[in-house]
Amino acid sequence: MGMSQKDTEGVLDDAIGELVQEGDPGAIVTGWVLSISVKHPTMPRGDGYISLNSEGLPYHSQIGLLHAALEEKNNQILVNTFLEAGRG
């Protein structure tokens, strides 16, 4: 028998907290968003998404976290491009 959604979210919350502590001891997780791309075998041309977030995180904060992640990724790509160009 599988875990309930509430139990699963608790496990995710704990795992995310542990991951953050390993990377940045002392940091406090104030919220998280997980976005998952899925494809269902009965819909070969369809895409779907599942989004999970920490309990009580308002929608505007969820969108803000997703936006911040995209901006960080774009910045990292730009930095890596400059670093590669400097090595050439």
Q: What tens-digit pLDDT sequence spans the chain (88 residues)?
A: 567 877 888 899 999 999 999 999 999 999 999 988 999 888 888 888 888 899 899 999 999 999 999 999 999 999 999 998 988 6
Give the pLDDT score at 51. Answer: 87
pTM above 0.75, yes or no: no
Residue indicated by tokens 């910045």: 75
CB atoms within 10 A of CB 64: 14
Q: Nearest 10 degrees: CA dihedral of 22, 23, 29, 33? A: -110
H/E stretch holding 48 reads strand 48-53
Specify the pLDDT at position 33: 92
Length of the chain: 88
pLDDT score, position 9: 82
The answer to whether the beta carbons of residues 51 and 62 sit under 8 Å apart is: yes
